Chains A and B, each alone.
Chain A
């Protein structure tokens, strides 16, 4: 860092915070300079989100010192934090979808012209602010018509308009496509020039090297180290995060691929824009689905699993034609789906871990019309251990778990069902490096047991590293297929897939 070194906007010393059963933060130090992008890195449950919540006044700290622009902070409400210039940019957007961009920006503080709102002035001002960051945008477009990336830009600009000096971004690139990420990074660069400080949480290590100035690593609620980004590398960061070295990035497996177990022919949907998708899945195989966000991969799986209505297409299981109208039909036919949106579709937040894991399998746990608690506890215990879900106990409500652990519960629930075909939609999204590797191992173990997997992933290296074959989608259609021999040893494969996905 050059000249700004002395200019500290935020400093935290020896922060402690505990929740029932968990020491979320254990004497954590953190420092943010003016105009700096400071990345927070750590596995799920390392305490990054908790630290951000304390910074933004959403949670009180138990002990420690918190200085904001040189002023000692004893107590901070979310509103006070906002007034002092701290803004959170959430993954879930806090925008009103049916209002226009400028209406969202000025919501609650409209510019007035007499008794009427001064639309012209607001539109002009909106253009100006976006222009300042080199973004061209029509202020009169409704937010619901924007892509995720632009929604996020609007959210950030809104914070800037409200005079934010410190921005907390929690996994801002998770919902974005590769091209959209570039736009976001450009905005971040202009924000830095204006002296805005950014706390940046992400699990995507490559990104941090592009965007951050310094990185603070946390592990199990403890402060590990703060390093300037240009003095470190990926291996060192992973080692610091995990506390041990990871061997191979993608574990190898040895599986004999067998007969065809699932065949989908000419699958189309009316409402979700899937047209004429055909593919097959063999026993012991991992079939990857590549494509940009919105290419229709999730929608294919939703239609296959009976969530969305099909307008055409046949599904064959072991050569026999089957009818899938509702998810229960798919489950009956030995198909499981671990959805991407774990909070909305994967787990019941209000139920304990035990009840989530056993939910799909309850029928098999019944004894004389009642649930056999002993069997159920055994099942839940097995999967908590197998997936190393971090929790004080199986009765913990899922909403009290960290994001990564919630994802593990969602996976555990479907593994417990023991289906022969498992569809994994972005199984490692939002999951840290160590846990990712565990999930890869688990996937290998499953195919070694003779199960067949379909994996959707937006992380190209992961898809290439794990899949036997890859299907590429673009705008609801299959636009390419890559066989095993084409994937193995092909250095330009990533480029090929990208071309197919955007043709």
Chain B
């Protein structure tokens, strides 16, 4: 059978190349080893969250609470370290668990009580952000020990530690989605939930687990963020979910669920990181960056829709 050339499969890589070329031409600092390392470090948190987001999107859901969870987790860990004098590792661990708990609540609401994912995670976005402000009374927590920087700013064999963590999470996500029963069930639920249920899949458990995982990855990003900025900031990562969702959708994950591969999401995340980085190098102000990113998200979803419509036509 002849394989037809499919634009959708390489689309994201084309965009990536175009963006690299564009910023290389328009700035002199973009394609330097220092800046590339910088981009990698900047995207690490988007990357980590995109793995959870990919799974959530594959089930046909969405999680817009990740940005707020990052803030809450950072604040919780900062408070435990700075005010309760807890050791760094256990404090961070508790922070990650707190993120997973937020995800668990999302999962239970979506799976058990059938609250639409957008509404559930919108509520969580607001609640987690509120909790972060309550815990800090709105004032960032400073004066944390220097060692806290290791996780977010340290290196391991010249590679930034967050980049290594991101790579491991991607590997883990790939294994889960491509090699295990869990992955198959995820795609099956997104493809047709009723078919999945009739096939004996525990849809409830699966969904709760996936949202918890998304919260857990947001928690992990939260402690990395804490380590990078060396302070507990309740206002951090506002609008972060935007980058994560756009990255996943650019990588071909269908917002309708059931379709898309995690490997391509890496490219989608790179695009988002390079956009932010390149636009900053070009001295484009932040507000304009928002507008550009919004346009990119709309274009990515439109492209996804068009692809699916075209595929739907090729039926016997």
Interface residues in A, total, Cβ within 8 A: 45
Q: How far is the CB of A22 from chain B (nearest CB, A)?
A: 6
CA distance A393 to B3 in the complex (A): 12
B179 near A370: Cβ-Cβ < 8 Å: yes
Chain B contacts for A331, CB-based, 8 A: 199-200
Identify which of B2, B180, B184, B202 gathers the most chain A CB atoms within 10 Å of its CB.
B184
A362 near B181: Cβ-Cβ < 8 Å: yes
B175 near A370: Cβ-Cβ < 8 Å: yes
Chain A contacts for B185, CB-based, 8 A: 362
Q: How far is the CB of A263 from chain B (nearest CB, A)?
A: 22
Interface residues in B, total, Cβ within 8 A: 32
CA distance A332 to B199 in the complex (A): 11
Question: Does A345 sit within 8 A of B, measured CB to CB?
Answer: yes
Residue in contact with B313 in the complex, picked from A59, A337, A359, A393, CB distance below 8 Å: A59
Chain B contacts for A346, CB-based, 8 A: 195, 198
Chain A residue, CB-CB nearest to B196: A348
Residues 279-316 of chain B: 1 if any A CB is under 8 Å from the residue's CB, otherwise 0? 00000000000000000000000000000000111111
Residue in contact with A19 in the complex, picked from B190, B191, B316, CB distance below 8 Å: B316
Question: Does B192 sit within 8 A of A, measured CB to CB?
Answer: yes
Chain B residue, CB-CB nearest to A360: B199
Chain A contacts for B3, CB-based, 8 A: 20
B2 near A45: Cβ-Cβ < 8 Å: no
Beta-carbon contacts under 8 Å, A289-345 to B: 305, 307, 326-328, 330-332, 337, 339, 344-345
Chain B contacts for A337, CB-based, 8 A: 198
Question: Does B258 sit within 8 A of A, measured CB to CB?
Answer: yes
A328 near B315: Cβ-Cβ < 8 Å: no
CA distance A31 to B2 in the complex (A): 33
Chain B contacts for A59, CB-based, 8 A: 313
Known: A350-B259, A370-B175, A399-B315. A327 touches B192 (CB 8 A): no
Beta-carbon contacts under 8 Å, A186-226 to B: none
CA distance A346 to B195 in the complex (A): 6
Chain B contacts for A400, CB-based, 8 A: 314-316
Chain A contacts for B48, CB-based, 8 A: none
Chain B contacts for A305, CB-based, 8 A: 198
Residue in contact with B316 in the complex, picked from A327, A393, A401, CB distance below 8 Å: A401
Known: A49-B316, A348-B191, A402-B316. A355 touches B198 (CB 8 A): no
Residue in contact with A359 in the complex, picked from B180, B188, B259, CB distance below 8 Å: B188
Question: Does A115 sit within 8 A of B, measured CB to CB?
Answer: no
Known: A327-B200, A359-B199. A348 touches B314 (CB 8 A): no
Chain B contacts for A360, CB-based, 8 A: 199-200
Chain B contacts for A369, CB-based, 8 A: 180
Question: Does B131 sit within 8 A of A, measured CB to CB?
Answer: no
Chain A residue, CB-CB nearest to B189: A348
A22 near B187: Cβ-Cβ < 8 Å: no
Question: Does B9 sit within 8 A of A, measured CB to CB?
Answer: no
CA distance A276 to B200 in the complex (A): 26
Question: Does B119 sit within 8 A of A, measured CB to CB?
Answer: no
CA distance A359 to B203 in the complex (A): 14
CA distance A392 to B2 in the complex (A): 10
Question: Does B112 sit within 8 A of A, measured CB to CB?
Answer: no
A355 near B187: Cβ-Cβ < 8 Å: yes
Q: How far is the CB of B305 from chain A (nearest CB, A)?
A: 15
B195 near A348: Cβ-Cβ < 8 Å: yes
Question: Does A33 sit within 8 A of B, measured CB to CB?
Answer: no
Residues 46-61 of chain A: 1 if any B CB is under 8 Å from the residue's CB, otherwise 0? 0001100000001100
Known: A327-B199, A362-B181, A371-B181. A21 touches B188 (CB 8 A): no
Chain A contacts for B105, CB-based, 8 A: none
Residue in contact with B179 in the complex, picked from A332, A339, A350, A371, CB distance below 8 Å: A371
Chain B residue, CB-CB nearest to A399: B315
Chain B contacts for A45, CB-based, 8 A: 316
Residues 20-58 of chain B: 1 if any A CB is under 8 Å from the residue's CB, otherwise 0? 000000000000000000000000000000000000000
Chain A residue, CB-CB nearest to B202: A328
CA distance A459 to B39 in the complex (A): 65
Q: How far is the CB of A295 from chain B (nearest CB, A)?
A: 21
Question: Does B4 sit within 8 A of A, measured CB to CB?
Answer: yes
Q: Can you give 24 A-B contacts (C-beta < 8 A)?
A: A20-B2, A49-B316, A326-B202, A327-B197, A327-B199, A328-B201, A328-B202, A330-B200, A344-B195, A346-B195, A348-B188, A348-B191, A350-B191, A350-B259, A351-B187, A351-B188, A351-B258, A359-B188, A362-B184, A366-B181, A370-B179, A370-B180, A400-B316, A401-B316
Beyond the given A344-B194, A370-B180, A371-B184, please list 13 additional residue pairs across the A-B interface where CB-CB is below 8 A.
A20-B314, A45-B316, A326-B197, A328-B201, A331-B200, A344-B195, A346-B198, A359-B199, A363-B181, A371-B179, A371-B181, A401-B316, A413-B199
6 nearest A-B residue pairs (beta carbon) = A348-B191, A331-B200, A21-B1, A328-B200, A350-B191, A370-B179
Where the two chains meet, the residues of B that have a C-beta atom closer than 8 Å to any C-beta of A are 1-4, 175, 179-181, 184-185, 187-188, 190-192, 194-202, 258-259, 311-316
